[in-house]
Structure 1
Amino acid sequence: MALLAVAGYLAVQYVTGGAGAPGCKVASGKGGRTPYEFTPEQAVNAATITAVGTARKLPERAVTIALATALQESALRNLDHGDKDSLGLFQQRPSQGWGKPEEIMDPAYSAGLFYDHLVEVPGYLDLPLTDAAQRVQRSAFPDAYAKHEPDAELLAAALTGRSAATLTCDGRPGSTPEKGPDAVRAALVRDFGHAVLRPAGAEVADGAGTGTGATRSARASEERTVTVPVTGGTGTGGERETERRGWQVAHWAVANASSLHIQRVTYAGREWTAGNTDSKWSPTGTEGAKGAERAAGPVRITSAW
């Protein structure tokens, strides 16, 4: 009995990615599905996989395939072990030409390598998900990926920005968090590439000058804030694409809240603050979320310090 209890506990830890409550949640934009709950570690890795795919201008279906594959192979955990010499999010093997161990353990590298192989599969967008994944992975369990498709679709909708204001994390920092706006900027470039900081660049206010009381408090907040410009095409379709891009960056920031010590994320008249796990973004300002979305503006990411 005791051994069975221990085995059950370890199984839960493997699936959830660690001890305690999951801490992150993605709600269905349509409100008709059970929310998907996962850990901050899993959220960071899912956001990286998504960002690498969209930076290559791959469609959401490609991201869904990648996320389902990583859910099956590692439960979205960057594992330093596996079957034989398998490593990382996708359990890629150095001995089979997937790269050096230190490369495979880089989530952005391993995600990019998965996409490199996926796009070489003829008609992969039209294949059943498990078939497309299997043609890349060549797993001993070729049908295993299918069961993760619903969760991967929910994650992809949020992390590509198609489903707005649906991802939240509690934002509690880990034991060795990176800190400050410089860490946020570096992580943005790591996942999205340098283009995420263009055309105007992600700027941090200089905080120059003096003041007292509320003025000093506001200036301190500005000093910790990275402003990420969001641009897209023109016309109605371009506005939708711009907003989608903005929500992708905003959700990425929430997913990274614990590791980067992010306190607040603001976009399109909505605001997320650390400690909120009810999958709701609060309206900002007096116009309400709908009015502000018409002029969504940049994504503002504020660090705790």
Structure 2
Amino acid sequence: MAPDPLGLVTDESGVSPDPPRRRRRGRAALLVVLAIVAGGGWAASRFLYDSVRTPQCTITAAGMAESLDPEQTGNAALIAALSIKRDLPPRAATIALTTAYQESKILNITYGDRDSVGLFQQRPSQGWGTRKQILDPVYSTNKFYDALLKVEDYEHADITEIAQKVQRSGYPEAYRDHEGQGRVLASALTGHSPAGLSCRLEEATTGASPATVAKALAVEMGVKQAEPSGQSLTVTAPDQRTAWAVAHWSVARAAQLGVTGVAIGERQWDRDAGDEGWSEGAASPTVSITLR
């Protein structure tokens, strides 16, 4: 090696190699960068995984599909169930669900325009009831149906016009934007579209008792033939369409009630199966609901 006039050691090419300390720092910096990149990659992949696994329900009917979160789906199931209990045609559920989608995104919210609250944004000052009453989904839904039944020809007239006559909204045409969602939800939740609702949910950590679920079915859908046994509930429906309504209600309310499995004849929905949906097989009027 030739001496360097500046006092640095050089190799035969005249290029000064990094001193040992600089090499160590370079390697340390490289390791830090790699750690950051690796950490960022893990965080990004975890974020992607979590976003894919976000709890979500998918409702399908007539070749169309809608996605809602479990809270929205549970509320939608209650609205449809009350139409069955009152022996109303599926169109009543369609109108109610279309309205709730526009008014609150089917959420039981505690705020709104002026004194509006609840699923249908009903106002105490307009005679719908007290604020506390309106925030009870069963009460507010029944009040909506009470008003709907007073509208002439609601079974055949334009859905948007009917919804406006019930609600007296300041945006009467807004309901039209959600007629499609209302139809899909009503078709599945009233049992007219078998296996039309499935949910991807988090693991159940708590669960209601079979007796509590039986009571909810009686209050919301009018179902009385429900027999608790251990951690399960067997419902005998009058027909297969009603059985599918019960089965879909059970899946839709699974997040709130701790339902882990639903079977209608040979067809099964398993909470642990994620996106797999309903298994194949023959359905029947008997529904089995399994709770955590």
Give the TM-score category using the shorter length: 0.7 to 0.9
Measure, in 2, the Cα distance between the counterparts of 1:172 and 1:185.
23
User: Which of these two proteins has the greater Rg computed from alpha carbons?
Assistant: 2
Measure, in 2, the Cα distance between the counterparts of 1:39 and 1:90.
18
1:162 aligns with 2:197: no
Measure, in 1, the Cα distance between the counterparts of 2:258 and 2:231.
11
The change in CA–CA distance for 1:174 and 1:298 in structure 2 (over 3 A counts) is: closer
Report what 1:182 is aligned to: 211
Partner residue of 2:270 out of 253, 270, 273? 273
Q: TM-score, normalised by structure 1?
A: 0.75
For structure 1, which segment, 177-186 or 249-258, has the greater mean C-alpha deviation from structure 2 after superposition?
Answer: 177-186
Gaps of 5+ in 2: 1-52
The residue identity in structure 2 corresponding to 1:138 is R
Measure, in 1, the Cα distance between the counterparts of 2:194 and 2:132.
35
Is the 8 Å Cα contact of residues 204 and 259 (structure 2) preserved in structure 1? Answer: no
1:229 aligns with 2:236: yes
For structure 1, which segment, 133-142 or 49-58, has the greater mean C-alpha deviation from structure 2 after superposition?
Answer: 49-58
Is the 8 Å Cα contact of residues 226 and 236 (structure 2) preserved in structure 1? Answer: yes
Shift of 1:279: 6.2
1:26 aligns with 2:59: yes
Q: TM-score, normalised by structure 2?
A: 0.78
Q: Percent identity of the aligned residues?
A: 44
Report what 2:291 is aligned to: 303
Is the 8 Å Cα contact of residues 242 and 285 (structure 2) preserved in structure 1? Answer: no
Measure, in 1, the Cα distance between the counterparts of 2:105 and 2:170.
17
1:202 aligns with 2:229: no
The 5 A counterparts of 1:7-22 are 21=54
Partner residue of 1:46 out of 70, 76, 90? 76
Report what 1:82 is aligned to: 112
Is the 8 Å Cα contact of residues 203 and 272 (structure 2) preserved in structure 1? Answer: no
Aligned structure 1 segments of 4 or more residues deviating by more than 6 angstroms:
none
Report what 1:6 is aligned to: none
Is the 8 Å Cα contact of residues 166 and 279 (structure 1) preserved in structure 2? Answer: no
User: Aligned pairs, how many?
Assistant: 240
Is the 8 Å Cα contact of residues 25 and 277 (structure 1) preserved in structure 2? Answer: no
Q: Give per-residue Cα distances to partners, 1:92-149, cap 9 Å, x unaligned.
A: 1111110111111111111110010011001112211110000000000000001101
The change in CA–CA distance for 1:204 and 1:174 in structure 2 (over 3 A counts) is: closer
Is the 8 Å Cα contact of residues 210 and 232 (structure 2) preserved in structure 1? Answer: yes
